């Protein structure tokens, strides 16, 4: 079946460090891929998305490229800030999912220290 696997957290970085959070997926067909972010005490917010192979999603300095050959959608940021501390979720959606449901990875907690 369809699934998403993320690198385990927590991830702790110093401010201005480079961030990579790995995400790989298993899916039938051609899924759309997403990164959601959850700040403390808040709901999930869409960070970026990509809907077809080789697309690059980007937002707020974060980027992720849809790699069909490696079934991956790794999240990267060149220089993290304390305000990026949050839980990051990778997710996919395929055309055959129930009502457009999202399938999520387990989430990766990021803590950025000043």
Query: Which residues contact another protein by CB under 8 A?
Result: 4, 32, 36, 41-46, 49, 89, 91, 93, 98-107
**CA 80 to chain CA mean position, Å:** 15
CB of 78 to another protein, least distance (A): 25
Q: Which residue, 46 or 53, is less far from another protein as judged by CB?
A: 46
Q: Which residue, 1 or 114, is less far from another protein as judged by CB?
A: 1
CB of 18 to another protein, least distance (A): 25
- DSSP states along 6-65: E--S-EEEETT--EEE-EEEE-SS--EEEEEEE-TTS-EEEEEEE-STT-EEEETTEEEE
Q: Which residue, 99 or 114, is less far from another protein as judged by CB?
A: 99
Answer positive or negative: Cα dihedral of 93, 94, 97, 99.
positive
CB of 10 to another protein, least distance (A): 11
């Amino acid at each position: 079946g369809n699934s998403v696997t993320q690198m385990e957290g927590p991830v702790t970085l110093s401010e201005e460090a480079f961030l990579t959070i790995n995400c790989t997926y298993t899916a039938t067909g051609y899924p759309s891929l997403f990164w959601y972010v959850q700040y403390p005490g808040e709901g999930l917010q869409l960070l970026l998305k990509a809907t077809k192979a080789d697309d690059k999603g980007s937002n707020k300095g974060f980027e992720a490229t849809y790699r069909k050959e490696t079934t991956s959608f790794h999240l990267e940021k060149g220089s993290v800030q304390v305000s990026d501390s949050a839980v990051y979720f990778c997710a996919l959606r395929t055309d055959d999912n129930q009502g457009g449901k999202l399938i999520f990875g387990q989430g990766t907690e990021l803590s950025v220290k000043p």
